[in-house]
Amino acid sequence: MHPHLKEVLFTREQIAERVKELAEVVSRDYEGKNPLVVGILKGSIMFTVDLLKELSIDAEVDFMDVTSYGYGISSSGEVRILKDLSTVAHGRDILIVEDIIDTGNTLLYLKKLLTGRQAKSVKIISLLDKPSGRKVDIDADYVGFEVPDAFIVGYGIDYAERYRQLPYIGVFNEEFLIKE
Ligand SMILES: O=P(O)(O)OC[C@H]1O[C@H](OP(=O)(O)OP(=O)(O)O)[C@H](O)[C@@H]1O
Ligand code: HPA
Ligand SMILES: [Mg+2]
């Protein structure tokens, strides 16, 4: 385990197994459709790629880069678009792929934005859900695991841009917070 982590919550193997299960459910639900799978950068990089590999249906992929945390461990509340979709959302079945829902600010913003562009449907899949963090009323349609009230890192998820490359998911040890 990385020395800046307090504990590992999900191993590489547990994540792979859960991603496979989620992909089976998604493939069943989108049978005969050609969804636009939208990975939200940067946190969902690993989940988006691993999920795509397990889908048994045709799908297209695109990415949006949005951010609201910057270098801290609490949401600024303001969601900023750093990169928009390259694909037209109008009329598409969109599946937003997130790594974690915490306050819900990011997903509420994205769901409103894409619904406003007249997507045919907008659903959300999030690998992790932290219900204790929620500040706005939004939930994912598909969730991999619930996580406790702690700052999570690994498998794409960062603190101050670090730890994204870890193949497992764990709790960040706040003794290693960067002090300004
Ligand atoms: O439910 P919320 O409180 O909005 O938090 C969830 C979002 O916050 C993180 O993104 P971040 O802004 O850190 O960008 P990043 O993915 O590039 O790290 C995470 O990847 C989610 O997108
Ligand atoms: O627990 C978290 N860890 C990392 N990034 C996050 N963004 C929202 N919640 C988290
Ligand atoms: Mg982040």
- 158: in domain: no
75 lines ligand 1 (CB under 6 A): yes
Nearest CA to ligand 1 atom 16: 43
92: domain CATH number? Answer: 3.40.50.2020
* Coil, helix or strand at residue 42: coil
- 33: in domain: yes
Is the separation of the CB atoms in 154 and 167 below 8 Å?
yes
157 lines ligand 2 (CB under 6 A): yes
- 94: in domain: yes
- From the number of C-beta atoms within 10 Å of its C-beta (0-12, 13-18, 19+), residue 32 rates as exposed
Q: What is the pLDDT at residue 76?
A: 78
Q: What is the pLDDT at residue 75?
A: 80
- The C-alpha atoms of residue 176 and residue 72 are separated, in whole angstroms, by 12
Residues with CB under 5 A from ligand 3 (ion): 69, 158
Q: What is the pLDDT at residue 86?
A: 95
Q: What is the pLDDT at residue 71?
A: 77
Instruction: Give the CA dihedral 16, 37, 52, 169, nearest 10 degrees.
Output: -20
Please give the residue range of the domain that contains residue 115.
11-150
The ligand whose atoms approach the alpha carbon of 153 most closely is 2
Residue by residue, pLDDT tens for the chain (180 residues) are: 999 999 999 999 999 999 999 999 999 999 999 999 999 999 999 999 999 999 999 999 999 999 887 778 888 788 999 999 999 999 999 999 999 999 999 999 999 999 999 999 999 999 999 999 999 999 999 999 999 999 999 999 999 999 999 999 999 999 999 886
Instruction: Give the CA dihedral 45, 140, 111, 167, nearest 10 degrees.
Output: -10
- 162: in domain: no
- 48: in domain: yes
- 155: in domain: no
In the block, tokens 């496979």 appear at: 20
Nearest-atom index, ligand 1, CA of 164: 18
Complex confidence, ipTM: 0.97
Instruction: Give the CA dihedral 178, 105, 140, 159, nearest 10 degrees.
Output: -10
Please give the positions annotated as active site.
Answer: 102
Q: Please give the tally of structural domains in the chain.
A: 1
